[in-house]
Copies of this chain bind each other. A is one copy, B any other.
């Protein structure tokens, strides 16, 4: 296992990830409030020194997760200057690949190349049911959508596609992306096999939302070896490790935060219907950094020690923990900055 010491040349970068809440059913203002709060949080995060914001895509949740991810990111992009706009992840099986390629290219151009495109196959059964797409088609649909998007971004000459799910004839897709040949692609990886696939494809890797530090260490190590075995240079900033962050000071707060996380996991499981779901405290704690500033500092040091240099923080209490983290912890692990107050 690779280890890095604090004080060495390496440094860490931090982003945020998550979703706004825009529930329906109440007066419209309730939904707009969730969006506004999320936009403000992103603007503040940029000022605090966070590098990026990765936003989910989900549909039909009943609790208002973001559905039109690229539109929300476009708004945030127009209100920020340096923040990278990430998707975590766009679920390709739902999308017309040409329309999606156009939307991504448009935001990439408008933002001066600030997009990072996390892509996935989908996993929630309620979404497959809702879109009336058999979950068995997810691999094939993912692959076909990705193939077409890559053609759309990179072809200046007319091309056609006669696939199983999509057909296009004699088209050149506009506009082009700003980043060439296309924005960086990011994929999650939940097994050795998928870590190897992501490395083989040359994509960046999203890790760890529900993984232990040991699992992340193994995945980073494998990914690094695989990238190098393909003759490429490994860049630790190409792996983003997702953690849930809650800075708190009492047993009572801790218990409340953990119970909320357990409730959240159950709520998601009702939509996902994934077999083998473990509704335990231990399972819920995977992926969390809940504790005092000192505890969180140790958590980050652990991540640094296993070679994680890019961490995405999801904060259940919004800007509160993100601000404390940025002011009290981030500077020790970052190269440069004394963050400004938001």
In the complex this chain forms, how many copies of it are found? 2
Report the minimum CB–CB distance from A166 to chain B (whole Å): 8
Residues of B within 8 A of A31 (CB): 109, 175-176, 178
A78 engages B68 (CB within 8 Å): no
A8 at the interface (CB under 8 A from B): no
A253 at the interface (CB under 8 A from B): no
A105 at the interface (CB under 8 A from B): yes
Residues of B within 8 A of A177 (CB): 28
Residues of B within 8 A of A109 (CB): 22, 28, 31-32, 35
Max chain B C-beta neighbours (<10 A), residue from A74, A131, A178: A74
A129 to B160, CA, bound (A): 11
A28 engages B178 (CB within 8 Å): yes
A95 engages B106 (CB within 8 Å): no
A176 to B24, CA, bound (A): 5
Residues of B within 8 A of A299 (CB): none
A39 to B107, CA, bound (A): 13
Residues of B within 8 A of A180 (CB): 28
B25 engages A170 (CB within 8 Å): no
Residues of B within 8 A of A106 (CB): 22, 35, 66-68, 71-72
Interface set, chain A 114-148, CB cutoff 8 A to B: 129-132
Residues of A within 8 A of B (CB): 22-25, 28, 31-32, 35, 39, 59-62, 64-68, 70-72, 74-75, 77-79, 94-96, 98-99, 102-103, 105-107, 109-110, 112-113, 129-132, 156, 167-180
16 contacts between A and B (CB under 8 A): A24-B173, A24-B174, A25-B176, A28-B109, A31-B176, A31-B178, A35-B175, A59-B102, A59-B171, A59-B174, A67-B173, A71-B74, A71-B103, A75-B78, A95-B99, A130-B169
> Would you list the 6 A-B pairs with minimal beta carbon distance, nearest first?
A22-B175, A78-B78, A132-B167, A24-B176, A68-B106, A67-B102
